[in-house]
Amino acid sequence: MITRRELLNRLGGGLGSVALGTLLADQTGIATHHTPKAKAVISLFMHGGPSHVDLYDPKPMLSKYDGKTPPAEVADDEKITGNLLGSPFKFQKHG
């Protein structure tokens, strides 16, 4: 079994060699036949952020309002598209 310290040391060495390769690479690049022109641009705006479950960040108020629409003091002026969903997991403090 590999320890966390050993894993981080190996990953750090790998990333360092990638960075070194980039620094030593030839910076001239390949010339193109013509100047590229963008004919269209797709812009995506994603409302919100990562889930509290993905961030391992407990939100006690979210459990309180699970399945309900958010109150006005929480929602502000934003358009909410659905009800709130609390975490199905119980958070435990470790470390």
Residue 7 falls inside a structural domain: no
Residue 82 falls inside a structural domain: yes
Query: What are the residue ranges in the chain where pLDDT is below 50?
Result: none
Residue 92 falls inside a structural domain: no
Range of the domain at 68: 57-86
- The pLDDT, as a whole number, for residue 79 is 65
- Indicate whether this model's pTM tops 0.85: no
Specify whether the CB–CB gap between 80 and 69 falls below 8 A: yes
Residue 64 falls inside a structural domain: yes
Residue 77 falls inside a structural domain: yes
Residue 65 falls inside a structural domain: yes
Q: Which helix (H) or strand (E) holds 53?
A: none
Q: Which residue has the tokens 């980039």?
A: 22
What is the spatial distance between Cα 60 and Cα 87, in angstroms, rounded to a whole number? 9
Count of domains observed in the chain: 1
- The pLDDT, as a whole number, for residue 19 is 76
- The pLDDT, as a whole number, for residue 6 is 83
Residue 26 falls inside a structural domain: no
